Amino acid sequence: MTTSSRTTTAKRRIAAGVLAGVAALSLAGCAGGSRSGSDQPGVDNTETAAPNQPVKTSISTSSEKDLAAALRTNGVDDPENWAQILVQNKPYPAGAEGTQKIQQVLQQFQASPDLSAKITNVVEP
């Protein structure tokens, strides 16, 4: 064997090893089968809520798409429409005043009590 063929063989082995390593890392990332976070871009649900307490999305700081995603996760029918309504009625004061305004907006747009509960369980001022 010549020096040139030895070098080529060594390079091929290194390349094969690198490719095998990359493939192994890729598969290891998929092997868990679970993922955290939302399937919607921009939805931050990395916080951990207390037991039986959902993580709430702020109407004041979230985009309309993010609000729709949060509403969708709580089973709200037509989440895009309700997100649009909530965003169009900004600003919402902090605390109890803001929560009261959210409830007033939902009443104004004739949300049923069940729908209002679903929405207020996942949004905050």
User: Up-side HSE of residue 17: CA atoms within 13 Å toward CB?
Assistant: 6
Closest to 58 (Cα-Cα) out of 38, 86, 77: 86
pLDDT score, position 115: 96
Six-digit token pair at 108? Answer: 């104004």
Instruction: Kindly indicate the confidence band of residue 12, based on its pLDDT and cuts at 50, 70 and 90.
Output: confident
Q: What is the DSSP string of 65-125?
A: HHHHHHHHHTT-SSHHHHHHHHHHT----SHHHHHHHHHHHHHHTT--HHHHHHHHTTEE-
pLDDT digits (tens, 9 = 90+) for 45-95: 544 445 566 689 999 999 999 999 999 999 999 999 999 999 999 999 999
| pLDDT mean across residues, the chain | 78
3-state secondary structure of 4: helix
pLDDT recorded at residue 89 = 95
Contact of 88 with 67, CB cutoff 8 Å: no
pTM (2 decimals)? 0.58
CA distances (Å), origin 15, targets 19, 28, 103: 6, 20, 62
